[in-house]
A = this chain, B = another copy of it.
Amino acid sequence: MTRKINVGIKDIGRAVGVSMMTVSRALRGVEGVSPAMRAEILRMAEVMDYRPNRTARSLASARSSLIGISIPTLFSDVFPEILDGMRATLSHAGFDTVIDTTDYDRTREAAWVERMLDWNAAGLVLSGIDHAPEMRDHLRALQIPTLEIWDVCDDPIDICVGVDHHAAGEMLGRHLHACGYRRPAFVSVPEGRDRRADKRLAGLRASFATAGVAEMVVERVDRRAAFVAGAIGTEALLKRPGPRPDVIAYLNDHMAFGGLSVCEGLALPVPQAVGIAGFNGLELNTVLPRPITTVRTPLNAMGVTGARNLVARMNGAVVARSIVLPTRLQEGDTTCAVDVSAA
């Protein structure tokens, strides 16, 4: 091992016989170095096992290669899937990603963003479009490239890529109503926790209301594991006094599956006695003995698109402020065979 401790660009420069500035340029791929010299420097850097000091680089250039990514939780299939989509693009572009989980707490998110700014982060990725107002203002003022992902609006902090959750809710609602269901219910998380959940519910409500069905029962469960939450919510729903819902929509497919399991356990015919529908079209749904009706959201593609746009944005390109990805209704076996005449 010829590995000296802490080889710096100065050492490389000395070895090659040029100034450290030339080395710096060569290593960064900046122009101003002849191809021959660049090759020689790169070779020597390799030989000497040079490792750039990112800290020094960040300090001198007032910009780091860190990208902060904030997501509500890792206990979900949604965010890991989005992260997975972003991964390749960001790492190819040479960025290091610092991930934070906020547990749906805006204050925590804001504090963490400030911390990332202390690191001279090159960019930020935030989940959704609902954030602490001061944080919004701060980021806007600082002009930090910021991607809001998963949800969309007309006026993002910087740029956003996501789906229209309200429209997704409406789409599912229209389908369920067309199936003949008239006593809809929704199983979700505690109110205010997840804005996307509320939007889906609002969309469902809107389409049912338009069709003349005003009432929608909502059961909220505070359980991290989605399958569990769906099961618990469904049991609670079925135990309620009053007419039993004839269709239950869930915040996502995992929850819907939990609910479906409960119904099957109670020998409640699905979709005749009760319809079941989810959201997101998660991989789970592709092998279920009974595919669940759902609204597919392009999670991975969202990550890819978002990351690409963010990188382009950081390179100074002009990109669309807001990109709405399409969702698609995917009919399964858990809705539609309802006996309308009996209702």
**Which residues does chain B contribute within 8 Å of A261, judged by CB atoms?**
288-289
Complex Cα distance, B289 from A80, in Å, reads 27
Is the CB–CB distance between B99 and A97 below 8 Å? Answer: yes
Is the CB–CB distance between B289 and A117 below 8 Å? Answer: no
Is the CB–CB distance between A119 and B55 below 8 Å? Answer: yes
Check: A118 CB closer than 8 A to any chain B CB: yes
- Given A74-B74, A74-B84, A289-B265, the answer on whether A283 and B54 have CB atoms closer than 8 Å is no
Q: Which residues between 60 and 87 of chain A lie within 8 Å of chain B, taking CB atoms?
A: 64, 74-75, 77, 80-81, 83-84, 87
Partner of A64, one of B55, B83, B232: B55
Check: A120 CB closer than 8 A to any chain B CB: yes
Is the CB–CB distance between B96 and A96 below 8 Å? Answer: no
Give min CB distance, A217 to chain B, whole Å. 21
Complex Cα distance, B119 from A97, in Å, reads 12
**Which residues does chain B contribute within 8 Å of A59, judged by CB atoms?**
53, 55-56, 59
Instruction: Count residues of A near B (Cβ-Cβ below 8 Å).
Output: 46
Check: A202 CB closer than 8 A to any chain B CB: no
- What is the 8 Å Cβ interface bit string for chain A, positions 282-321, against chain B (1 contact, 0 not)? 1110111100000000000000000000000000000000
Q: Which residues between 83 and 100 of chain A lie within 8 Å of chain B, taking CB atoms?
A: 83-84, 87, 96-100
Is the CB–CB distance between A120 and B74 below 8 Å? Answer: no
From A173-181, A191-199, A223-231, give the one contacting chain B: A223-231
Give min CB distance, A222 to chain B, whole Å. 13
Check: A51 CB closer than 8 A to any chain B CB: yes
Check: A101 CB closer than 8 A to any chain B CB: yes
Complex Cα distance, B50 from A272, in Å, reads 63
Complex Cα distance, B59 from A58, in Å, reads 9
**Which residues does chain B contribute within 8 Å of A55, judged by CB atoms?**
55, 58-59, 64, 119-120
**Which residues does chain B contribute within 8 Å of A339, judged by CB atoms?**
none
- Given A98-B98, A99-B97, A119-B54, the answer on whether A287 and B232 have CB atoms closer than 8 Å is yes
Most chain B CB atoms below 10 A, which of A53, A74, A120: A74
Give min CB distance, A57 to chain B, whole Å. 9
Give min CB distance, A302 to chain B, whole Å. 16
Check: A115 CB closer than 8 A to any chain B CB: yes
Check: A114 CB closer than 8 A to any chain B CB: yes
- What is the 8 Å Cβ interface bit string for chain A, positions 208-241, against chain B (1 contact, 0 not)? 0000000000000000110110011000000000
Partner of A53, one of B118, B228, B232: B118
- Given A58-B55, A84-B74, the answer on whether A228 and B119 have CB atoms closer than 8 Å is no
Binding site for B on A (CB under 8 A): 51-56, 58-59, 64, 74-75, 77, 80-81, 83-84, 87, 96-101, 114-115, 117-120, 224-225, 227-228, 231-232, 258, 261-262, 265, 282-284, 286-289
